[in-house]
Structure 1
């Protein structure tokens, strides 16, 4: 009997325990609910006792108390300007004689900050001209000889330009350290504008790789080429200065200074931030096809101009550079920016690379095609397969696919805007395009064939409206012919949803 009673008692005891636990859990749950309900009631009472038209202000104050607004970042309160840049130029005594005109074409005495670093004292160039950046002689690198297995023997001296520039100027006014070669053309105003969008208080390594696949393959696709130039934020420059000696010993075999620096920056966990306006120009021959279809970003630099034809026909390299800089000094933000418009009456297409060329095609060609550079140039080295890091159009003997090219003749700023004149420098040695057009059908006159147009006038507003345009192409339209052989193109504000093309 006792055993059976024990068996019956166990379920009863279990039920009691379950009931007790459930009651305990419910009490535990109700307590926070009651407390929360009490505070919600008080909050509702406070709100209901205020006049309705004041409650939004009250809620705003409450929100400000609970979530105080963070102060604006310093980059927005005080945008980056030219005084925040320190420029280090890597050079040598042997090259400075030939490269000095390149640097002086963009250097602004008493405005631009920086130094040119030479391998020894420039006795033959003294007194040093004020039109050039002040010089410094690079520190002796003999202590690194055991680690100098680089094919480029000057790699260690060159990579240490960033450290020596930092030592020369590392006060709180400097935000960015910009490194370039002595044959690099910098467009300082554009560079300042681009750097304004980055937070200089963080680690940034900003530049671009080569135009050629092989150059990147031999080094790194995530390396900024020093010839194109690159910008390093103050905190990153400071970290490099502290760690570069150790890093040099870690990488004794990489090819040159650019790859060595990129390896050191990678060790710090910082990736390359790509900016397409930096141009290494690992190209040869005629650069016009490349520059006439410049990416939709402000041009920041040009390198290796010794390795390509002069930018303008019938000029030497020095004259060509000075001619291009006249346009840059008039409106640097528009320089080489591609704008596309159409002459519907003739079925012609115009591609304007502002301050450089206007290409006139005898048929309608959509922007998606015109933005691909004509392959008038050659790769730095002949590759096995794909040569370039971008799409190109092949040079053709089809007159409908090849443009009439007009080069910048003059540019001037007036009260109503900027006027740039482009003239034909030579014929294209091709027959007229055989595609029919309304002008040939209705007028049947040779004066409407593009070969008879000798000048194109481009009128643009005094300033480029970045807020409206952003990285979108500016719009333009053909407004007529001032004379029989002169065509006028006028820039205008793009409609919000405007499609560029003829449909």
Structure 2
């Protein structure tokens, strides 16, 4: 789905992050993300179809009027969203494991759209229904080095519309390796009028990708949403529109070309992340990455992240910055994911910049290749952070508080000459947080963290929560 990735390139990147539509999609706050490389995506669908009956869809639209329901005034919820997941038969056995981690069989609607039939296993019943895309051989495709699957994938929204599902407000498109945080996605879509034309997503974080494809294009790997009436308008003209752009590369740029002909601009939401190093920021609805926790493979990493996501999806991976004044340390907490301890004092303005530990889509080591500022990756032995990944997350039985534990991964061999305490003595970090279900309804502001006195040797104790009225992030 991603431009230059619609033919399902294999996983090949090493990272430390994720996609999740988290807190208010304005706040961004990065954390540790070692290595980056782009991935693929997926989608959901609403039709309640027996997974064992994979059908092939014809091109004839069904007349529907799904928005005229008695419940049209209620807030958008998961039942109003239909997911369209782009997948390939060749990679299905692997990619379906990713989808199973965020898909809710009894709450969500959507379909996985394949290029050909696959063997359905007994344990696939908790996955979205499978469908076969219509034949696209009649469409011209002239992009050298590209793949015709882009045409099939770009028609998923229109083909999903033709299923005639009722009470649909939004069609959400993604790839089979895109990881959605459903509750956060709902909160974002609640901000918009589903009866109007909306094309919502985000551009790439790489300047070169945006130059090659468009700064007005929502990248499919990051996922995007199309309102129901816009999907109706798109379906009426899309096939003719596709024929006018045989030289485009991927599916998402074909969608954008048709949006241009409809006169609908991209509404940008930062929570739709095309690449993984943004998952350490504060706001995410979707994740798209490879290795989140460096010691683990992708699937195990997602499974570990799923528990804190269920407990407080709005706060997942939100970065907080605080200081251990007694030891002169700077601490960065991406809640539910990772804690980093830096020796010395780093200003908040610098800490919220991502460290330059990744390269762009073209694998050029270029510090101006991205559409955001980055922080030089210092190799000074005293400035290398001590990294602690989440191990467990539990909810207190007597109060609405979540306790998370983080254990060391990266412990630099420190012969640091600075005259101060060194973090190797910290073998465990405990972070306590009270979730706020109304966080999305408030103006965006990063949570604050506070170092608490602890009586356990080798353990740092941190409280994370809303900043108080006069609280600032400064030593």
TM-score by length of 1: 0.76
Report the counterpart of residue 7 of structure 2 in structure 1: none
Partners of 1:86 and 1:342 in 2: CA distance: 44
- Structure 2 match to 1:49: none
Q: 2:445 aligns with which of 464, 467, 472?
A: 472
Matching of residues 83-102 of structure 1 within 5 Å: 83-102=79-98
Aligned equivalent of 1:327, options 276, 300, 308: 308
Which of 142, 146, 149 is the matching residue for 2:142?
149
Report the equivalent of 1:130: 125
- Give structure 2 stretches of 5+ with no counterpart: 1-69
- Relative distance call for 1:164 and 1:127 in structure 2 (3 A) is farther
Cα deviation, residue 76, structure 1 = 10
Over 3 Å counting, the alpha-carbon distance change for 1:75 and 1:450 in structure 2 is farther
- Bigger-Rg structure (1/2): 1
SS of residue paired to 1:377 = coil
Name the counterpart of 1:420.
404
| 1:473-497 Cα distance to aligned partner (Å, 9 max, x none) | 1122111123120011112442234
Q: In structure 2, do the counterparts of structure 1 residues 345 and 469 end up closer, same or farther at CA, with 3 Å as the change threshold?
A: farther
1:233 to 227, 244, 248: 227
Aligned to 1:423, the other structure's residue is in SS state: strand
Structure 1 residue 222 displacement after superposition: 1.4
Unaligned runs of 5+ in 1: 1-73, 441-447
Aligned residues of 1:413 and 1:462 also touching (Cα < 8 A): no
Distance 1:359 1:213 in 2: 29
Q: Note the C-alpha offset of 1:304.
A: 4.6
Question: Aligned equivalents of 1:158 and 1:100: distance in 2?
Answer: 17
Please tell me whether residue 398 in structure 1 is matched to residue 380 in structure 2. Answer: yes
**Kindly tell me: are residues 339 and 265 of structure 1, through their superposed partners in 2, closer, same or farther at Cα, counting changes over 3 Å?**
same
Distance in 2 (CA, whole Å) between partners of 1:276 and 1:75 is: 29
In the TM superposition, residue 198 of structure 1 has moved relative to its aligned partner by 0.9
Matched residues in 2 for 1:344 and 1:304: separation?
35
- Distance change >3 Å, CA 128–CA 142, structure 1 → 2: farther
Change (3 A) 1:465 1:480: farther
Q: Does 1:261 align with 2:246?
A: no
Residue equivalent to 2:172: 178
1:302 counterpart = 2:287: yes
Do 1:109 and 1:131's aligned partners in 2 also have CA atoms closer than 8 Å?
yes
- Equivalent runs, 1:345-494 vs 2, <5 Å: 345-383=326-364, 385=366, 386-414=368-396, 415-416=398-399, 417-432=401-416, 434=418, 436=419, 440=420, 448-466=421-439, 470-494=443-467
User: How many residues are paired up?
Assistant: 401
Q: Is the 8 A contact 1:482 1:488 kept in 2?
A: no
Residues 76 and 365 (structure 1), Cα distance of their counterparts in 2 relative to 1, 3 Å cut: farther
In structure 2, the residue corresponding to 1:105 is in which secondary structure?
A: helix
Q: Structure 1 or 2: larger helix share?
A: 1
Tell me, in whole angstroms, the C-alpha distance in 2 between the residues paired with 1:493 and 1:205.
32
Higher relative contact order (CA 8 A, sep 6+): 2
User: For the residues of structure 2 that align with 1:75 and 1:390, how far apart are their CA atoms?
Assistant: 41
Name the CA distance, whole Å, in 2 between partners of 1:358 and 1:498: 21
Q: CA deviation at 1:81?
A: 0.5
Separation in 2, partners of 1:75, 1:338: 37
CA 1:473 to 1:382, structure 2 compared with 1: closer, same or farther past 3 Å?
Answer: same
User: Aligned partners of 1:464 and 1:457: how far apart in 2?
Assistant: 22
Deviation at 1:467, TM superposition (A): 6.8
CA contact (8 A) 2:182 2:285 kept: yes
Give 1:80's aligned residue. Answer: 76
User: Which residue in 1 is equivalent to 2:21?
Assistant: none
- Tell whether 2:135 aligns with 1:140: yes
Contact 1:86 1:169 in 2 (8 A): no
| 1:334–1:464 contact (8 Å) kept in structure 2 | no
Does the aligned pair in 2 maintain the 1:338–1:351 contact within 8 Å? yes
Q: Any idea what SS the aligned residue of 1:248 has?
A: helix
- Give me the whole-angstrom Cα distance separating, in 2, the residues matched to 1:345 and 1:158: 56
Instruction: Please state whether the residue corresponding to 1:210 is helix, strand or coil.
Output: coil
> How far apart are residue 394 of structure 1 and its match?
2.2
